[in-house]
A = this chain, B = another copy of it.
Amino acid sequence: MNYVRMTFDQIVSLATDCLLANGANEGNATAVARSIAKAERDGSSSHGFFRLPGYIASLKSGKVSGNAKPTVSTLTSSVVRIDGDNGYAPLALEIGIPELIAIASKTGVGIGALVNVYHFAALWPEVETIADSGMVGFACTAFKPSVAPAGASRPLFGTNPMAFAWPRKNNRPMVFDMATAAMARGEIQIAARDGHTLPQGVGLDASGNPTTDPKAILDGVMLPFGGYKGANLAIMIELLVAAIIGENFSFEAEEKDNNDGGPPRGGEFLLAIDPRHLGADDSSTHAEAFFERYLSLSGTRMPGDRRYANRDIASDGINVSQTTIEKINNLM
């Protein structure tokens, strides 16, 4: 495969141009484009340019507004509600997260309820942003059903990822972002596209039988990681991103979706905690003692370190396949 070496800004420009050409305004286009560029930069190709055709499809179908004007309401001293105005999540997050950080810095904890929005990106950018402000960040979201509850063979949960970030002293935050599915849907899609097989335990085929074929799993059902415990987390996430903030459960998102190839409408639950308000003397130094002990054990690695390693390499340029660039040019 032929690759083109691009800078972060060139990726943002290319994705922005494509979104502008399909009806998004500057603010929405650049916010989505930055989320794509961050994913490409950090080696998360399943959330990079790979998502752009879906974004464009939903602009074309009219499902998602490319001119959304997200707004933030302060519901209590510790709760903000971020209304995406029927647009994509990235602009709503760019506007909402500073408000979330502001309330958490005053009361020690803030909830951000992101609604009326279409989420098609990774979660680590939002929790990393929260941690860059010295706070602990947590986020979760749902999608359409593709994961079966423990014991079942029909889907009910989305892949329902959750992300967590801890702000480190003189270091980049510790961040994890993981699907409660045994594998992220994007990764299975990539495996299907590239003709790879998957480990046992990732999913069942359309008849409810175990399979290692990614295409059969995409036609069938994925499984939660770790059996009923992962399923418990998936239930918790459904309740946090739907019932508690008044947005769609995964099963409702699917029923209401027009299946244009883009994301369904659904909420995101965000939590920011300011360690300076919880009574500890020095959370940051204390945490470093834990990380030091952790890394002293043979075989460990810091969650998120591969993303940072890719990011370091990306400062010299990011490889994007010629095929991908042609696909994007064809969307304009």
Spell out A's residues near B (CB within 8 Å): 73, 75-79, 81, 106-111, 113, 115, 136, 148-154, 156, 164, 166, 174, 176, 178, 180, 225-230, 232, 235-236, 238-240, 242-246, 249, 251, 273, 275, 277-281, 283-284, 286-287, 289-290, 293-294, 297-301, 303
Contact = CB atoms under 8 A, between A and B. Distances in A.
B243 A277 contact: no
Contact of A251 (B76, B180, B290): B290
A164 B232 contact: yes
B136 A108 contact: no
A42 to B, nearest CB: 17
B249 A290 contact: yes
Contacts of A109: 78-79, 109-111
Nearest to A280: B246
Given A79-B108, A153-B298, A245-B279, 18 more contacts: A75-B108, A76-B106, A77-B107, A79-B277, A107-B107, A109-B109, A150-B299, A151-B299, A154-B298, A164-B232, A166-B239, A176-B236, A178-B229, A226-B226, A244-B280, A246-B278, A246-B279, A249-B289
20 contacts: A75-B278, A78-B107, A78-B108, A79-B108, A81-B278, A108-B111, A109-B110, A111-B273, A111-B278, A152-B297, A152-B300, A153-B299, A154-B297, A164-B232, A225-B226, A225-B230, A226-B227, A244-B275, A244-B280, A246-B280
Q: Is the interface of A mostly helix, strand, loop or mixed?
A: mixed
B293 A156 contact: yes
Given A245-B280, A283-B246, A235 B294 contact: yes
A78 B78 CA distance: 7
Contacts of A303: 228, 232, 235
Contacts of A243: 166, 275, 280, 283-284, 286-287, 290
Given A229-B226, A239-B166, A75 B277 contact: yes
A230 B226 contact: yes
A136 B286 contact: no
Contact of A277 (B76, B294, B301): B76
